[in-house]
Amino acid sequence: MSQQSQRKEQIIHLVRHAEAEHNVANDWSIRDPPLTGKGRDQASGIPANYPKIASEGSNIQLLVVSPLRRTLQTALLGFEKAHLPFLVLAELQENCNVPCDTGRDTETMSKEFPNIDFSQLPPDWTSKQGKWSESDDALRQRAKFVRNWLRQRPESEIAVVTHSGFLSYLVPGWKGFKNAEIRSCLLGDAEDLVPTTLDGEWAREVGEAPADPIAAMEAQ
């Protein structure tokens, strides 16, 4: 049996960003909007709502984040107590070719987030063209890339902070993520590259999601 076939499944925690300005105003013209005050409170409340995922002593080994402002702020506020290695991944950006889903140049972002390394972002990641476009094919390919990228990581438990639209491509069939909600899944070696939910009872309906999915799994 090959080393690859013996690889254990990874636990992947999928996080939607907290409430941002465009969510309240329904104004997609706001360029890369920040969290609202309520959103900052939602993000800061993640450790209390998901203590086994986001608190100190969590088993998570890596935090991977969309380089948009609202996801960066959510990650920094929500996982501050976990003291995790932090990577930005352009492929996690939101789907649409509108200002609210379009990132800013790395120089601007580095000034706002001086402790985050943006050097690995490709120069065209904000173009919304080619692989970054909002076409269905491009989004499916981008989601496939992310699943493969996660599978190649050595960490056994990873948190991913991204957006509701992209999450529907990353895990086909999942929808309705609330702001600052976390759902957890298993990512193995299946050829279809679709993660397997930890708890099938809540995977498809956001209203059935427990406050702490890992605790729910352990209680079974």
Token readout for 119 is 């050097």
Average pLDDT of every residue of the chain = 85
- Count the alpha carbons within 13 Å of 38 in the hemisphere toward its beta carbon: 7
pLDDT of residue 203: 38
| Contact (CB, 8 A) for 60 and 184 | no
Residue 205 has pLDDT above 60, yes or no: no
Beta strand extents in the chain (DSSP E only): 10-16, 62-65, 86-88, 157-162, 182-187, 196-197
Q: Report residue 182 CA to chain centroid gap.
A: 9
Give the single-character DSSP code of 5.
T
| Contact (CB, 8 A) for 19 and 38 | yes
pLDDT of residue 202: 36
Strand partners, 11: 157, 186
**Averaged pLDDT for residues 106-131:** 96
pLDDT of residue 197: 52
Residue 218 has pLDDT above 50, yes or no: no
Burial 139-152 (b: 16+ CB within 10 A, else e): beebbbebbeebbe
pTM for the whole structure: 0.85
